[in-house]
Structure 1
Amino acid sequence: MSQLIWNGVFVGSFYALVALGYSMVYGIIKLLNFAHGDLYMLGAFVGFGVLSVAGGLATSLGFVALLVVLIISMLATGTVGLVLERVAYRPLRRAPKLSVLITAVGASFALEYGMRLVAGPNPQVYPVRLAGNAINVLGARITLQQVGLILIAVLLMAALQWLVMGTGTGRAMRAISQDPKAALFMGINVDAVIARTFFIGSALAGAAGVMAGGYYGKIDFLMGFIIGLKAFTAAVIGGIGNIKGAMLGGLCLGLLESFGTAWLGGQWRDVFAFGFLILLLTLRPTGILGERVTERV
């Protein structure tokens, strides 16, 4: 039981980081950014490129090198998120929602197959692999690298929570999510705040990509597709648009997958997780922490 819980929390921390970007963007402009999972993939490849250039120096530094690359990847994916918002989404902000949704799907394919052209179709082995000796804690086998990655994820989530709840930018985000027109009349630069939201969400996805690459050791250009679906599921489970809900949803999904694998087998893991999503939405359509809201016209 201890091992199952630990595995679920570890995987759930990755889902939570990516789900936060989904939830932030949807909470402010009601957009399902289906290209978000591919920013996770892009972050992993940016880290791969930097570590490959660093060569033996990165290998000798190990975890420290991964931390430096983590920051670089967050800046790179955050910038790509800014460009994506400015080029693909901002011109369609007043367009029908179906047009924006199709654009998001197109942006996802553009990132995936653009990376395929750059890096090739074959999986790549990460230059730095976080592998260490496991210790036994209450029956669960835990490595220091796993603990370090979870601590990084928790720190990033705590920093985001502080940003949203304790800063002027966060207040502007919350104001826009309540009523964009009223926020504009109050002097808030709506476009700038939305752009910052895309930057922050994309940076968190890039961080998760580097962490996954360093831990699992293999990346490919389609790795963002399934993580995007899982992160979207986590955001919906927690209550899409709710920051704490995205964190809770990621942990819930990780635990569901862990227990589903143990009870039903690995081939039924996704069936178990998505089946729970259907059941939850039937009983509580807004998710665990979501609130029913009236859409303004």
Structure 2
Amino acid sequence: MEYFLQQGLNALALGGTYALLGLGLAVVFSVLGLINFAHGELMTLTGYGIFYTLLMGVPYPLALLAGVLIAALAAVLMERIAFRPVRNASPTTMLLTSFAVSTILHILFQNLISARPKAIPVPDAIIGAVSVGSMQIGIIQLLSIAITAVSLLGLTLFLKKSLLGIAMRAAAEDFNVARLMGVNANMVISTAFAISGILAGIAGVLWLFQRGSVDPMMGFLPVLKAFIAVVLGGLGSLTGAVIGGFILGIIEVSLRAYLPDGMLAYRDAISLTLVILVLFFLPQGIVPRRESVR
């Protein structure tokens, strides 16, 4: 029973990271119809931002905040420089633009910084574990779950209570009608990218807590998994992105914990097969897009 609870917490921690990344992807897709594959580079920028601010002697909490803010600023600049000029182009053009931005940033990271990982220290205070009865629970896992919950709650309140959040929900429902009603398109889209950058930054911090280093490819695999989670939950559905992220986290942790040793090499293939089976019965995803704005 204790082992089961431990794995459940691990699944919540990993699924929360996927949920934050998937939500960032879904926010942009819901208002612009774009899957931003440069989203992973925002995670990497967070890591490098933390690394260099720590080198400058900035206190650790402020360095984490600086990394998240760098990701948010980079997301807004990305939208203004790369995506706004092709906003009215075909979806294929926008998709290719996102791939181009991702590739350019990756090359810059490799050539201007380093292809090798940069170690980022994790405070001793969060490395250990706390005892709950006879069970040891990692502090990093607890922090990941708590930060994910606060982030999701904050975004929910923003979307439901603020005027800009309501405008974003209206744009997600029908962007053209929202513009006719006076919604500022540039403001809504820039805000969506800023939110996606903040979510990528927070996910980047949680990922760094787990791995303790940053390299040019740091964001590639997590965002690939987040994209799978978004499709699983329902492309464009904010609620679905969160649900898909947690489901994918549960699947991965469960397979890692309970598969026989001889089958562990097939873990990713099995998890993707399970995702395909879900989509076979629910081709629109678990939560249709129309429910993401209610």
Name 1:18's counterpart in structure 2: 21
Structure 2 residue 289 is the aligned partner of structure 1 residue 288: no
Name 1:62's counterpart in structure 2: none
What is the alpha-carbon distance in structure 2 between the residues aligned to residue 207 and residue 143 of structure 1? 19
Measure how far apart 1:287 and its partner are.
1.4
Q: Tell me the TM-score normalised to structure 1 length.
A: 0.89
Matches within 5 A, 1:139-218: 140-218=135-213
From 215, 218, 221, the equivalent of 2:216 is 221
2:69 partner amino acid: L
Contiguous gaps of at least 5 residues in structure 1? 59-64
Q: Is the 8 A contact 2:27 2:192 kept in 1?
A: yes
From 110, 113, 116, the equivalent of 2:110 is 116
Q: Is the 8 A contact 1:31 1:101 kept in 2?
A: yes
1:27-48: per-residue Cα shift (whole Å, max 9, x none)?
1111111111121111111111
CA RMSD in angstroms, aligned pairs only: 1.9
1:17-64: per-residue Cα shift (whole Å, max 9, x none)?
11111010111111111111121111111111112222xx74xxxxxx
Q: Tell me the TM-score normalised to structure 2 length.
A: 0.90
1:29 partner amino acid: L
What is the alpha-carbon distance in structure 2 between the residues aligned to residue 185 and residue 84 of structure 1? 26
Contiguous gaps of at least 5 residues in structure 2? none
Q: Report how many aligned residue pairs link the two structures.
A: 284
Q: Is the 8 A contact 2:208 2:214 kept in 1?
A: yes
1:49-93: per-residue Cα shift (whole Å, max 9, x none)?
112222xx74xxxxxx2x322321221111111111111111111
Measure how far apart 1:160 and its partner are.
0.6
Q: Is the 8 A contact 2:236 2:289 kept in 1?
A: no
Q: Is the 8 A contact 1:78 1:200 kept in 2?
A: yes
Measure how far apart 1:138 and its partner are.
6.6
What is the alpha-carbon distance in structure 2 between the residues aligned to residue 285 and residue 226 of structure 1? 24
Measure how far apart 1:238 and its partner are.
1.7
Q: Is the 8 A contact 1:260 1:268 kept in 2?
A: no
Structure 2 residue 265 is the aligned partner of structure 1 residue 271: no
What is the alpha-carbon distance in structure 1 between the residues aligned to residue 69 and residue 194 of structure 2? 8
2:31 partner amino acid: I
Measure how far apart 1:139 and its partner are.
6.3
Q: Is the 8 A contact 2:173 2:290 kept in 1?
A: no
1:15 partner amino acid: Y
What is the alpha-carbon distance in structure 2 between the residues aligned to residue 19 and residue 103 of structure 1? 20
Q: 143-152 or 216-225, which moves further after superposition?
A: 143-152
1:121 partner amino acid: A
